[in-house]
Amino acid sequence: MAVQTSRIVFLVDMQAFFASIEKVQDPALEEHPVVVAGDPEIRSGVILAACPLAKKWGVKTAEALWEAESKCPYLVVIRPRMQLYLDMSVSIAASLEAFTDEVEPYSIDEIFVEMTNVLPGLDMTAKEAAEMLVTKIYRETGIVARVGIGPNKVMAKMACDHFSKKQPGGIFHLHEQNLQEKLWPLSVGDMFGVGWRMARHFHDMGIRTIGQLARASLSDLRKRWGINGELLFWTAHGWDESPVTIDTHIRRKAIGHHMTLPRDYGSWEEIKVVLMELSEEVARRVRANRYLGTTVTVGARGHNYFDQPSGFHRQVKLYDPTNDGNVIFDAAKQLFLTHWNQDPVRSLGISLDGLMTDEARQLNLFYPDRDREVLNHTVDELKNKYGDAAVLRASSLTAGGQALLRAEKLGGHYK
């Protein structure tokens, strides 16, 4: 079985993006091990990015700040500036659009680029074109980029994650001829789309490598996990038909908001405040995208969720589609109180799934909601004009509230 070979897709990844930007902004940091951490004033903060010099000391992304400082006593710790990083990401994406309009931001530091129709005009090989993009990004921004090349987005992503970062030039092409040699020996948990839970299920079945998954019975995988099992089977074979498109993130299936709390929350009174804030934020984003949703999902984790997973992840279907924070909160409250085991909570998340356009809806004669809609949109306009802290619930000013602090942040970090 062969992978698709008619396309050439790049996944452009910016190396140590946040830390690299800080070094470009301050040349005095060039020879220093630099990390960007969630909150340097709190030693339990998490490393968001580490420059190559810091990584030589053993510092890793996502580890606790105190662990990183214990490895590297000369570490320079910088608080994140998310607006700066976001602006730089947009600028790099715009620069790549000089070659093609098929440019899709995958994350703040990763960008898919469809090169299939571009290469003939450039009269270059895929590797030569990748080298040109890397040079262009470095000259314009001072950021070192790496490129994974593949016949589709999934292959380009895995090429970048597992191979490009280990190459001297930061470029690797994963294709039909080297798929079995390079990709199949990797652990099944390294495959795109396989999380730790699914990896554990595969291990229980005796599937420990990507190659073993590729050789597994498709009917067995489909019977056990439905369409997801079939999708992972085809991913192991290098198949992916998803296009590189600028509106991938516009057509959403769900909108959610997650919050890591500054400390353990053990009382319902404090947890309730955060659930309300999350519900309001999700509702606001759903309204901004002109959606209604039908399913509320709530997730909670305790302090030790990295090594000893605890908590729950549950959902409930609503009677009517909604984009109202009060309705979302009522459903979230019901879910939380039903499944919470009274253990302290360190992170909470809420999402609204089953999204549909808000252009039309079934009216309810017994529960008119026109006044709520007017109020919600008025509050949205005030926040858009004067900032997120312009209108707050009184409960957000209590000890458990996080809305006032998060109003100063972007993506959970200071702007």
In a domain, 75, yes or no: yes
> CATH number of the domain that 173 lies in?
3.30.70.270
Question: What are the φ/ψ torsions at residue 13 (nearest 5 degrees)?
Answer: -120, 130
User: Could you please report the per-residue DSSP string of 27-93?
Assistant: GGGTTS-EEEES-TTSTT-BEEEE-HHHHHTT--TTSBHHHHHHH-TT-EEE---HHHHHHHHHHHH
Which residues, at least 6 apart from 83, have a Cβ–Cβ distance to it below 8 Å? 410, 415
pLDDT for 406 equals 64
Active-site positions read 110
In a domain, 94, yes or no: yes
In a domain, 249, yes or no: no
In a domain, 3, yes or no: no
13 is in an annotated binding site: yes
pLDDT for 231 equals 92
Domain check: are 169 and 275 in the same one?
A: no
**pLDDT above 50 (res 381):** yes
Domain check: are 42 and 149 in the same one?
A: no
Domain check: are 268 and 210 in the same one?
A: no
In a domain, 160, yes or no: yes
Number of domains in the chain: 4
Domain check: are 143 and 195 in the same one?
A: no
Which of 39-43, 273-277, 308-312, 356-360 is least confident?
A: 39-43
Query: What's the alpha-carbon Rg for the chain, to the nearest Å?
Result: 23
Q: Give the residue from 28, 55, 80 where a domain finishes.
A: 80
**pLDDT above 50 (res 72):** yes
| % of residues, the chain, pLDDT over 70 | 87
> CATH number of the domain that 53 lies in?
3.40.1170.60
Domain check: are 141 and 163 in the same one?
A: yes
Angle at CA of residue 291, ends 290 and 292, nearest 5°: 140
**pLDDT above 50 (res 16):** yes
Q: How far apart are CA 30 and CA 21, in angstroms?
A: 11
Domain check: are 73 and 174 in the same one?
A: no
| Confidence band, pLDDT 50/70/90 cuts, at residue 373 | confident
Q: How far apart are CA 59 and CA 46, in angstroms?
A: 11
pTM score of the predicted model: 0.68
Cβ atoms of 6 and 151 within 8 Å: the answer is yes
Tens-digit pLDDT profile for residues 398-407: 777 676 666 5
Domain check: are 302 and 394 in the same one?
A: yes
pLDDT for 92 equals 93
Tens-digit pLDDT profile for residues 175-221: 989 999 999 999 999 999 898 889 999 999 999 999 999 999 999 99
> CATH number of the domain that 370 lies in?
3.30.1490.100
SS3 341: coil
- Domain coverage including residue 398: 254-414
Q: Give the residue from 39, 56, 80 where a domain finishes.
A: 80
In a domain, 247, yes or no: no
Domain check: are 307 and 331 in the same one?
A: yes
pLDDT for 404 equals 64
Write out the two tokens for 335: 């879910």
Domain check: are 226 and 365 in the same one?
A: no
Domain check: are 42 and 89 in the same one?
A: no
240 is in an annotated binding site: no
Domain check: are 313 and 342 in the same one?
A: yes
Angle at CA of residue 393, ends 390 and 394, nearest 5°: 110
Domain check: are 410 and 330 in the same one?
A: yes
